[in-house]
Amino acid sequence: MKQLRLGVIGTGGRSTIVEYWHNPQENSIVVGAADVSLEALENFKKEINEDAFVTTDYRELLAREDIDAVAILTPDYMHEEHATAALRAGKHVYCEKPLAITPESCDRILDEAKRSGKHLMVGFNMRYMSMYQTMKEIIDSGVIGDIKAVWVRHFVGLGGYFYYHDWHGKAANTTSLLLQKASHDIDVIHWLTGSYAAKVSAFGSLDYYGGDKPNDLHCPDCDLKNTCPEASLERLTQCAFREEIDVEDNNMLIMELENGIKASYLQCHFTPDYSRNYTIIGTKGRIENDDVNDKVYVKTRKSGSWHEMSDITYEMKQMPGTHGGADPRICEDFVNLALYNKQPLTSPFAGRMSVAVGCAATESIRSGGMVVRIEQGRHQPADSLEKVALKER
């Protein structure tokens, strides 16, 4: 039996997916990890593999011959360094989204993947969620006709907790949250429609977070910790109202895709609830999701066929595993890619294009909303593999 031996760079929050790769009696095993935190490495050994090799220098991990593949789970601004180093070391690479924080960085990673001959996969786990796979199947069935418009509203409840208490709050680390957080949704829009964005315009601002608090102020040490609505006392967290924060906390993006479809994406980080609401409008009907109640609604208009006789409601089944069952499935796809060359549901170029749109939208926001065209760069797909990744499983 073939078995993929994995190492992990970055054992922080997203490393919860590592458990799906550690199957010593099956076709994958996690044998090592690198992180700057000794405490995090100790926790990794306790929770994943007590016999794993651990180090605070990722280069030592990459030098090991008993590691075939590496999962890059570090902060966004480190992805290029870690992914290119892993590819140069002859490892297959799974990189958490976004692939990098600029299109140029993505292109350099793609260059290295091409030179190395190793596989590169981007962690777009929304493509593996039952809800969005169901919506994709409905669209491809033709029941709503040709797509003409896509509307997405993203309410990021607990946005302060997840994005403004740490490194995410600085543009130098993320470019913007239209790249970091919306990279999933931009990719799903591309995937559902079968087309990449050609041009964008966007508006956004920092209206709630940030402010005049010292950059070295942490919630547990603050005099306002008992009354502040954004206080987080569970860990040593930076103040969400500190001076250095410079990424927008609400954004509105409009896109025109290559095939003429118009799409919008709206994001807010200080809403009381968490939800992604997708509406896909076609010439024969529309789809709308309800991720709070795990439903997808299909409504059809008069079409001269049986489709106009009834609407349909799909109820999502509860799938085992985190992120609605998406994480175990995306981890399995990476193993199958590395061991058997089985193409996954996503592609490196799709990862690059998600970043390109996020960066272009950020440029538009910070330039007063001007229209920015999306460049596909030097890695435009030359064969059918990208079409398969974009449109089909």
- Give per-residue pLDDT as tens, 21-46: 999 999 999 999 999 999 999 999 99
> Are residues 310 and 272 both part of a single domain?
yes
Nearest to 345 by CA among 186, 122, 91: 122
Do the Cβ atoms of 391 and 217 come closer than 8 Å? no
CATH code of the domain covering residue 95: 3.40.50.720
- Regarding whether 182 and 40 lie in a shared domain, the answer is no
Q: Looking at 124, 159, 191, which one is the last position of a domain?
A: 124
* Ramachandran angles phi, psi of 263, nearest 5°: -135, 145
Q: Which residues pair with 312 in a beta bridge?
A: 298
Domain shared by 95 and 147, yes or no: no
- Indicate the SS3 state at residue 138: helix
Tell me, what's the pLDDT at 232? Answer: 85
Q: How confident is the model at residue 390 (pLDDT cuts 50, 70, 90)?
A: very low
Indicate whether 250 and 136 sit together in one domain. Answer: yes
Closest C-alpha to 319, from 176, 136, 128? 128
| Overall domain count for the chain | 2
Q: What is the pLDDT of residues 52-98, one digit of tens each?
A: 999 999 999 999 999 999 999 999 999 999 999 999 999 999 999 99
The verdict on residue 61 lying in a domain is yes
Q: Is the pLDDT of residue 216 over 90?
A: yes
The boundaries of the domain holding residue 76 are: 4-124
- pTM to 2 decimals? 0.93
Q: Are 171 and 316 part of one and the same domain? A: yes
Does a structural domain hold residue 331? no
d(CA 269, CA 219) in angstroms, rounded, equals 19
Q: Which of 191, 196, 195, 199 is nearest to 353 (CA)?
A: 196
In this model, does residue 324 exceed pLDDT 70? yes
Give CA–CA dist 83/120, Å, rounded: 9
pLDDT of residue 380: 74
- The beta-strand segments (E) located in 11-165 are 28-34, 53-55, 69-72, 92-96, 120-123, 147-155
Q: What is the pLDDT of residues 181-208, one digit of tens each?
A: 999 999 999 999 999 999 999 999 999 9
Asked if 14 contacts 20 with a C-beta cutoff of 8 angstroms, the reply is no
Domain-terminating residue out of 107, 124, 141: 124
Location of structure tokens 């011959």: 65
- For residue 263, is it within any domain? yes
Residue-level pLDDT at 285: 95
**Alpha-carbon dihedral of residues 185, 191, 193, 196, nearest 10 degrees?**
80
Whether 83 and 34 map to the same domain: the answer is yes
Say whether 160 sits in a helix, a strand or coil.
helix
Tokens at 126, concatenated: 């929304």
